[in-house]
Structure 1
């Protein structure tokens, strides 16, 4: 298991429940339902790398900004990093052209909730015609091959850029 529900619910403002393997869900005060999960990332070539996904499965009655959503996602991610070998990859969805906003939100959450002494945030942007694709990686400073993993991440995106030129 990539996380512990017990650990998550010790710090999460919303109660988090198991959904499917490596996926959890929570319901906000306004009735919105979110799925948060991890999918093994096999393209980049880094062991124990997982993509994080956050899906708003059901909309509730909008009552304004809900800071408890970010704190809940943070609790899930903190549990994931209890194993310092785990690596988190986040690729912003481009389907509705809001990928830049998603990237900003993810960076804000990282700065607000991450243990900056323990975790490192690495990001890449690829511009293709009028679109930008945002990808980020978070890894523990205690990860074996710390520098090699960062190099592999950057090299993967540099290779993609060169193929697009």
Structure 2
């Protein structure tokens, strides 16, 4: 199980994160009064690869403004996560309100504006489920990951499996 150094995260984060009752999840309140829970949950999307889904929850469902401090807080947590060379992260855009494309654009813009973007592999795909809902998934891992080729292949196979419809 992965561990993160919250003290190191808070030293780089404009918002102070507090541990939640669940491991690898952290809570904070923005200057705009929005309660967030962010962190990581173990995922089984890639067989044979220990990977974690990045989670970001607007707990009180208030409209989120363009808050650069939120972006910097997310960076601080993700950079701490990737301080471990074998870390693998998946991001699935929430589809509950049909705004998954907006979430994907925001996440991608955060990624491409990050100072350390060239330190990571970023793979993404769209998978349409049985109800016709487009699910957007992104995979991130360090370019120096010891199993980079295998992880890329596992991601491609997982995406392909979702594209193949059972007969």
Q: TM-score scaled to structure 2, two decimals?
A: 0.90
Residue 24 of structure 1: aligned partner: 26
> Which ranges of structure 2 fall in alignment gaps of 5 or more residues?
none
Number of aligned positions between the proteins: 164
Post-superposition offset of 1:144: 1.2
Q: CA RMSD in A?
A: 1.9
CA distance in 2, matches of 1:119, 1:13: 23
Residue 36 of structure 2: aligned partner: 34
Change (3 A) 1:114 1:149: farther
> Which ranges of structure 1 fall in alignment gaps of 5 or more residues?
none
Residue 58 of structure 1: aligned partner: 60
Residue 112 of structure 1: aligned partner: 113
Identify which range, 107-116 or 154-163, moves more after superposition: 107-116
Query: Which ranges of 4 or more aligned residues in structure 1 deviate by more than 4 Å?
Result: none
Change (3 A) 1:44 1:54: same
Residue 46 of structure 2: aligned partner: 44
Contact 2:34 2:64 in 1 (8 A): no
Give the match's secondary structure for 1:163.
coil
Post-superposition offset of 1:63: 8.7
Q: TM-score scaled to structure 1, two decimals?
A: 0.91
Post-superposition offset of 1:48: 2.1
CA distance in 1, matches of 2:136, 2:148: 21
Post-superposition offset of 1:37: 1.7
